[in-house]
Amino acid sequence: MDKGDNYEVMDISLADQGRKNLELAELNMSALMEIKKRFKKEKPLQGIRIGLALHVTKETGILIRTLIAGGADISITGCNPLSTQDDVAAALAEEGVKVWAYKGETTEDYYRYLGYVIDEKPHITIDDGCDLVSEIHINHQDLISDIICGCEETTTGIIRLKAMEENNALKYPMIAVNDNKTKHLLDNYYGTGQSTLDGILRATNMLFAGKTLVVCGYGSCGKGVSLKAKGLGANVIVCEVDNFCALQAAYDGFKVMKFEDAAALGDIFCTVTGNKHVIRLEHMKKMKNGAIMANSGHFDIEIDLKSLKEAAESERRVRPFMDEYVLGGNKLFVLGEGRLVNLAAAEGHPSEVMSTSFCGQALACEYGVKNRDKMKNQVIQLPEEIDDEIAGLQLTAMGLNIDEMTPDQVKYMSSWEEGT
């Protein structure tokens, strides 16, 4: 591990590769770069300390540079022990960013690093999964009076925050960046769809065509994973607990059944529910020899790995990010230790999709600062105009033009008198 006054990273000599990856990310994040240009001129975050617990990837690096251009002081750690890109962390450390993260963090280091970010006394927190917010609420309540707001990146974090709000436990306003259309309907759907398969492919190099993939959860992420796998020729089975989502899966042409029935049919299983113990030992006992399990939900609790470890006759690593367990004589495989497979075994979402997600984070910080006296200690959604602005920036980045309504159409759309 390499340590400096303001960093702890795996290997600082990886910085050059990290800079090259950041350069590539910039090329594909034009919408965010537009915001960076404006932030550089207007300095909307001057004097604001922002603490982040986000996947330390090249795309997050571009978000950090955008926030710094806006005048912010940044400190960052990861939000998952297996998702840090060590070269990017090294490059950020060399740029002078306060960064504490490495791929393969122990639980102890994970929480020690969260502590370092908290020690910087952030005015704004940016979280992916709500660990920073919950640490502050549990162990550092003294800091809360100086916190303007927090911004949350993912569905699991929003679920935790809504539970806090419900219990009157939420002590500062939280902006639900995940709930922007330009986040969950793009990032969770197209991003998780593609990068989850990328993670499974890099870990296994298997052929999807002709295989049976069982997808647990048909929300934004599960829809993306199912669609992309269908495109590769897989037979997709969807398992759900929500009637409407299950119906959508059936109407999209997928088989829908209980997981206990799908367990014996699947070649690959992928959980994307945000729930715990979706794949349990009783299911694993029914799986075929050679079955592969992966998770792309936020936490590593969707597959009950603990019970598998206890029951397995043997356990060994057969490739990086691919562990074999022998259960009842059958070989079962778990990818990326049950952590989100797209970040553990691949590089997370492509830059283009993170560009719109992180436009949401940058604009949420600006919104928070501008509206600091108006926000309540609730989970807040950004105004629709901001979502629309982000979509517009991305269309421009892609060189696409769309139509505008005529004045007559504008009038028609806001009137009720005109009928048949």
* Footprint on this chain of ligand NAD (rule: CB under 6 A): 154-156, 184, 188, 192, 216-222, 239-242, 245, 272-275, 278, 296-298, 340, 342
Q: What is d(CA 139, CA 284) in angstroms, rounded to the nearest whole number?
A: 38
What amino acid occupies position 120? E
**Nearest to ligand NAD of 257, 326 (CB atom):** 257
CB of 119 to ligand NAD, least distance (A): 27
Q: What is d(CA 289, CA 331) in angstroms, rounded to the nearest whole number?
A: 5
CB of 88 to ligand NAD, least distance (A): 16
Tokens of 93: 């450390």
Q: How many residues make up the chain in this entry?
A: 420
**Nearest to ligand NAD of 85, 154 (CB atom):** 154
Q: What is d(CA 169, CA 161) in angstroms, rounded to the nearest whole number?
A: 9
**Nearest to ligand NAD of 72, 238 (CB atom):** 238
**Nearest to ligand NAD of 242, 313 (CB atom):** 242
CB of 255 to ligand NAD, least distance (A): 14
The contacts of residue 404 (CB under 8 Å, 6+ apart) are: none
CB of 196 to ligand NAD, least distance (A): 6
Tokens of 234: 């897989």
Q: Which residue is nearest to ligand NAD (CB)?
A: 219
CB of 345 to ligand NAD, least distance (A): 11
**Nearest to ligand NAD of 75, 248 (CB atom):** 248
CB neighbours of residue 191 within 10 Å: 24
Residue 130 pairs in a beta bridge with: none
CB of 332 to ligand NAD, least distance (A): 19
User: Coil, helix or strand for 155?
Assistant: helix
Tokens of 299: 């936490």
Query: Cα-atom radius of gyration of the chain, to the nearest Å?
Result: 22
**Nearest to ligand NAD of 143, 262 (CB atom):** 262
CB of 326 to ligand NAD, least distance (A): 26
E strand segments, 78-144: 98-100, 124-127
E strand segments, 21-103: 49-53, 73-77, 98-100
Q: What is d(CA 238, CA 62) in angstroms, rounded to the nearest whole number?
A: 36
Local structure of residue 383 (DSSP, 8 states): P
**Nearest to ligand NAD of 12, 180 (CB atom):** 180
Q: How far apart are the first and last CA of the chain?
A: 72
Tokens of 416: 């009720």
**Nearest to ligand NAD of 166, 315 (CB atom):** 166
CB of 39 to ligand NAD, least distance (A): 25
Maximum separation of any 2 CA atoms in the chain, in Å:
73
